[in-house]
């Protein structure tokens, strides 16, 4: 009788938890609730109280970890933040192989315990810290490198914080998921994985007085992530700004200040554009 009921429970697919409960009752010599158990079985009760994750926990292959850190050109003086740090392998590799410091954030306490133990075993616990925290509440402004293995939706939710809070020149590296229409600066395939890297651009949109070789003009720049477009007006003639691009605080564009199309390459500092090459020029902000 009891053997027939156990077989019937297995075939019904009530789940591992129900089978274990039935077996326990049988060992105690108590009758199993043959008719009632399947109706009362509620799978939700076995996951009640578990942490809600912004991204599923999937480990990154060590080959991909090494490629991510290499693509970001992690240096010994870098501070790396890993959002959704899992077992901590990205930060531990950054500390062991590159001498970096870092912070790993995960919402799952089991992952924090695991990553902290892994850091101690690797001898880098003095260089990396793991914290249980909602990644959308984690301060990220101090990072030199931000690493991600999340989801496409989570990346998009993080994008505005990255662009508004992180310093120009910060490197952002994501395993497998991009940032929508914020085009990557570099991309690399590693086996079946794709790695994307962005360099946070400074804000250069605005109106400037462009001065070069004794000439002046009204420079208007519009910005879409790294891309710059706009116009340059000199002596009543307006021409387009071409091939405009930002990389961190570095700026490059082609414009005609009345002496033909010329390349302008420089940096933005304090809201002012200044040349970095042999040809001297500057663009002072208006207003």
Token look-up 């710059």 returns 228
Indicate whether 103 pLDDT > 70.
yes
- Predicted local distance difference test score (pLDDT) of residue 50: 39
Indicate whether 123 pLDDT > 90.
yes
Higher pLDDT, 43 or 101: 101
Indicate whether 187 pLDDT > 60.
yes
Indicate whether 275 pLDDT > 50.
yes
Indicate whether 41 pLDDT > 80.
no
User: Region 117-140: what's the mean pLDDT?
Assistant: 97
- Percentage of the chain surpassing pLDDT 90? 77
152: burial class by Cβ within 10 Å (0-12, 13-18, 19+)? middle
- Predicted local distance difference test score (pLDDT) of residue 174: 98
- Predicted local distance difference test score (pLDDT) of residue 60: 78
Strands 171-175 and 193-199: antiparallel
User: Region 97-118: what's the mean pLDDT?
Assistant: 97
Indicate whether 236 pLDDT > 70.
yes
Indicate whether 44 pLDDT > 80.
no
Indicate whether 195 pLDDT > 70.
yes
Strands 261-269 and 237-247: unpaired
Higher pLDDT, 28 or 70: 70
Rounded CA-CA distance 177/163 in Å is 17
Indicate whether 42 pLDDT > 70.
no
- Predicted local distance difference test score (pLDDT) of residue 59: 72
Indicate whether 95 pLDDT > 90.
yes
- Predicted local distance difference test score (pLDDT) of residue 15: 44
Indicate whether 83 pLDDT > 70.
yes
- Predicted local distance difference test score (pLDDT) of residue 57: 55
Q: What is the pLDDT of residues 11-30, one digit of tens each?
A: 344 443 433 344 444 334 44
Least confident of 51-65, 101-115, 190-204: 51-65
User: Region 131-145: what's the mean pLDDT?
Assistant: 97
- Predicted local distance difference test score (pLDDT) of residue 278: 86
- Predicted local distance difference test score (pLDDT) of residue 128: 98
Strands 261-269 and 272-275: antiparallel
- Predicted local distance difference test score (pLDDT) of residue 13: 42
- For the chain, domain boundaries: 2-46, 62-199, 206-285
Q: Which fold has domain 62-199?
A: Rossmann fold (3.40.50)
């Amino acid at each position: 009788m009891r053997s027939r009921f156990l077989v019937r429970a297995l075939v019904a697919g009530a789940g591992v938890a129900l089978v274990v409960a039935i077996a326990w009752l049988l060992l105690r010599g108590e009758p199993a609730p043959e008719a009632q158990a399947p109706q009362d079985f509620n799978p939700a009760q076995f996951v009640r109280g578990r942490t809600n994750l912004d991204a599923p926990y999937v480990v990154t292959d060590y080959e991909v970890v090494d490629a991510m850190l290499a693509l970001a050109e992690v240096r010994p003086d870098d501070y790396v933040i890993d959002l959704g740090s899992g077992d901590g392998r990205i930060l531990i590799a950054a500390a062991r192989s590159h001498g970096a410091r870092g912070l790993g954030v995960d919402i799952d306490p089991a992952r924090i315990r695991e990553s902290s133990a892994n850091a101690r075993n690797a001898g880098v616990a003095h260089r990396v810290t793991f914290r249980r925290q909602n990644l959308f509440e984690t301060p990220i402004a101090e990072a030199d490198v931000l690493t991600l293995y999340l989801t496409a939706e989570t990346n998009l939710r993080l994008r505005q914080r990255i662009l508004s809070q992180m310093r120009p020149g910060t490197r952002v590296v994501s395993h497998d998921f991009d940032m929508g229409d914020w085009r990557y600066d570099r991309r690399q395939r590693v086996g079946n994985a794709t790695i994307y890297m962005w360099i946070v651009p400074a804000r250069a949109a605005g109106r400037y007085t462009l001065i070069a070789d004794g000439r002046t003009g009204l420079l208007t720049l519009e910005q879409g992530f790294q891309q710059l477009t706009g116009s340059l007006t000199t002596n009543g003639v307006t021409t387009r700004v071409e091939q405009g691009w930002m990389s961190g605080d570095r700026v490059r564009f082609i414009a005609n200040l009345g002496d033909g199309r010329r390349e302008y390459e420089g940096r933005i500092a304090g809201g002012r554009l200044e040349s970095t090459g042999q040809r001297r020029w500057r663009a002072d902000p208006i207003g």
